[in-house]
């Protein structure tokens, strides 16, 4: 690949579900989390392109070949009283790294955030991914080291959801 490879960015469509899933699986493998990846084409079709889409995807081609993707969604900042853009996943296939594909995806996402009046654009990066951290630093992104991520999944999420449903039912019976 030469450094003059043409990079194009476009919004994904329902016809891209197989490619999106392939990128997600490649990302899971890269992050050493393949055992946690249970996404299917049907689930992606429903959540990305169904009646109530919960995320959006940009696809990057380099020299006409699929090179990377970015999956993102809108969130909200109460302090700013404005929407934000949250980048859930950014992945560039190894053969296309250092050609500007990741930068092109982030530039397009920044434009989307600007067009939507977002007050911020955020994402997470694994602490061991030094190359990604250097790349984000080079763009002027700032690591938010004072914030810790908390997550509920699996049985813990199900248990709390059961408590919530029971509480709702109890309130409804009064």
Domains of the chain: 7-144 (3.40.630.30)
Share of the chain above pLDDT 90, in %: 83
Does 147 score more than 90 pLDDT? Answer: no
Residues 135 and 90 sit within 8 Å (Cβ to Cβ) = no
pLDDT of residue 174: 64
Residue 1 in this model has a pLDDT that exceeds 60: no
What stretches of 47-112 adopt beta strand conformation (E)?
Answer: 56-62, 65-77, 82-92
State the average pLDDT over residues 52-59: 98
Where do we find the tokens 């700013």?
80
Q: Mean of the per-residue pLDDT values for the chain?
A: 94
Residue 145's pLDDT is: 87
**Per-residue pLDDT reduced to its tens digit, 44-53:** 999 999 999 9
76 and 117 Cβ atoms separated by less than 8 Å: no
pLDDT in tens, 6-33: 999 999 999 999 999 999 999 999 999 9
Does the predicted model carry a pTM greater than 0.85? yes
Q: What are phi and psi of 25, to 5 degrees?
A: -65, -40
* pLDDT number for residue 2: 45
């Amino acid at each position: 690949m030469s450094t003059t490879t043409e990079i194009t960015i476009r919004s994904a469509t329902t016809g891209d579900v197989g490619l999106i899933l392939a990128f997600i699986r490649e990302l899971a493998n890269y992050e050493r989390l393949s055992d946690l990846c249970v996404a299917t084409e049907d689930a992606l079709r429903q959540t990305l392109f169904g009646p109530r889409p919960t995320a959006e995807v940009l696809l990057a081609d380099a020299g006409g070949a699929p090179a990377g993707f970015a999956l993102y969604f809108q969130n909200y900042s109460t302090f700013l009283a404005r929407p934000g853009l949250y980048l859930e996943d950014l992945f560039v296939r190894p053969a296309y790294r250092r050609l500007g594909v990741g930068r092109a995806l982030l530039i397009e996402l920044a434009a989307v955030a600007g067009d939507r009046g977002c007050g911020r654009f955020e994402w997470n990066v694994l602490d061991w991914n030094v190359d990604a951290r250097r790349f984000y630093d080079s763009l002027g992104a700032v690591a938010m080291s004072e914030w810790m991520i908390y997550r509920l999944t699996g049985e813990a999420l199900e248990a709390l959801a059961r408590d919530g449903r029971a509480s709702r039912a109890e309130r409804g019976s009064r």
